[in-house]
Amino acid sequence: MSVMKLISCLFLCTLSVCCNASSHRSILREVSDIDRSGTDRDYAVELNATSFDAVLKDTPATFAIVEFFAHWCPACRNYKPQYEKVARLFNGPDAVHPGIILLTRVDCAEKINTKLCDKFSVGHYPMLFWGAPPKFVGGSWEPKQKNSDIQVIDNARTADQLLTWINKQTSSSFGLDDQKFQNEHLSSNVSDPQQIARGIYDVEEATSLAFDIILENKMIKPETRGSLLKFLQLLTAHHPSRRCRKGAGDLLVSFDDLYPTESWSSHKQEDDKSLVKNFQICGKEVPRGYWMFCRGSKNETRGFSCGLWVLLHSLSVRIEDGESQFTFTTICDFVHNFFVCEECRQHFYKMCSSVSSPFNKARDFALWLWSSHNKVNERLRKEEASLGTGDPKFPKTVWPPKQLCSSCYLDHDQTSNKIEWNQDEVYNALRNYYGKTLVSLYKEKGIAGTEGAEGAALEDLTVGTNAVVVPVGAALAIAVASCAFGALACYWRSQQKSRKYFHHLHSLKNI
């Protein structure tokens, strides 16, 4: 076995074999449409002692409500319809106000939950608690406890009373009759850099949807195979989400099993589509069915296109100098071959074709992508203004605004709207915004700082903005120490099947 293949195996091992993905089901997609008895769906997520910490740790929601109940309790049965009226607003892919509050239930009458209910001193049914989801993880509550991060919800015996309590806590005006995409609660303050922190979930959503679109439209063909493999390589090394990196790596390794070069009929693609979807490139919980940072005030605005732009920018600030040209051609080819909006595809490819010399620095590519995005926004702003199709709450604008980075502006002619940029400052702003700040939500939720082996794996969810590719020597040392069995399995597999593209995976620097 060649050294190059060994390094390839070990590199993939560190990114996928040793990454322990959570096995729990989607926190917001596990709600059934109709149960077997034919009654209305349950929106509140049923938890038990096994899933409690995992679900509350992983939810994108800012707040959580946990209802402790007993299935034999008549008052609990009577309260359930009231609780479900509120859960409908916040839970599930069809939620009116997604990503804000996660409503859950724990049945204390089940023996598996006895210790969990004791930890929260459940003394009557139903009993409701409110707090930030991470505060419930490994947490507890006592009646005489002072300054607790977890609160008991009193006087919430009806849906109206519970929603009134929620509105008071969140300074909101949610209503039981709210319908889909009533987005008056969205913040459009672009000067707040912390908004992008919630974009990490949208990057995962956009990644998953992009591959769904490719499969649905049968876009994997002999002439597009190479560009897709390169894009998967890029995601495996640099996607800001660990679970997406792992999924991309898994799909990359198994790609020629699913799409062998000798069989390219549409029937073959149809047969293999379900197999590819089983990879769930960003994990079982994605797609969630809604947007957070990229949600528009209208159903047809922002969303996927916004999430895809955030993904591209996040990739641009994670590469190293030696990868800049590879990243440029990979992204250009991916958009050209797999983006289904024809006009957008042609405009982007025209911008790619106008580049006359290769990129030698990661900084230069990140700035080119930034400048291109501003040009796209300027063109769309004029079109949307003339047609009245823009999002009034999120108009297309130049990024970064002065409120976000005043030092990025050297001069701004208000008459001609021409801007002289300090590109060093712009690059720093890009790295902070789409690098550190983008993934900071994970740290705020206490995931990255978890102690122990699990914490070490979860810490990998956030990738650094400088050295984002593990050096070959470091990858080799880490893999030997922690993934010996994975390397041996990879070695055995490589002996069985000679993958022509496999030698590219050890480091994008060598491409």
Active-site residues: which are they?
73, 76
The phi, psi pair for 106, rounded to 5°, reads -130, 125
Report how far Cα 320 is from the mean position of its chain's Cα atoms: 23
Three-state DSSP class for residue 66 = strand
C-alpha 475/C-alpha 454 separation (Å) is: 19
Tokens 């047809």 sit at which residue?
300
Q: Which two tokens stand for residue 508?
A: 């994008």
**Burial tier of 86 (Cβ tally within 10 Å: 0-12, 13-18, 19+):** buried
| Residue 287, preceding peptide bond in cis (omega within 30° of 0) | yes
CA-closest candidate to residue 334, choices 218, 257, 220, 241: 220
**Burial tier of 10 (Cβ tally within 10 Å: 0-12, 13-18, 19+):** buried
Residues facing 67 on adjacent strands: 105, 128
CA-closest candidate to residue 366, choices 301, 425, 287, 283: 425
C-alpha 413/C-alpha 392 separation (Å) is: 25
CA neighbours closer than 13 Å in the CB half-sphere of residue 442 = 24
Q: Are 177 and 215 in contact (CB under 8 A)?
A: no
Long-range CB contact pairs, 460-465, < 8 A, 24+ = 460/19, 460/242, 461/241, 461/242, 461/243, 462/240, 463/238, 463/239, 463/240, 463/318, 463/439, 464/318, 464/435, 465/317, 465/318, 465/431, 465/432, 465/435, 465/436
Residues facing 406 on adjacent strands: none
Q: Are 227 and 330 in contact (CB under 8 A)?
A: yes
Residues in the chain: 511
Centre a 10 Å sphere on the Cβ of residue 271 and count the other Cβ atoms it contains.
12
Residue type, 488: L
Residue type, 350: K
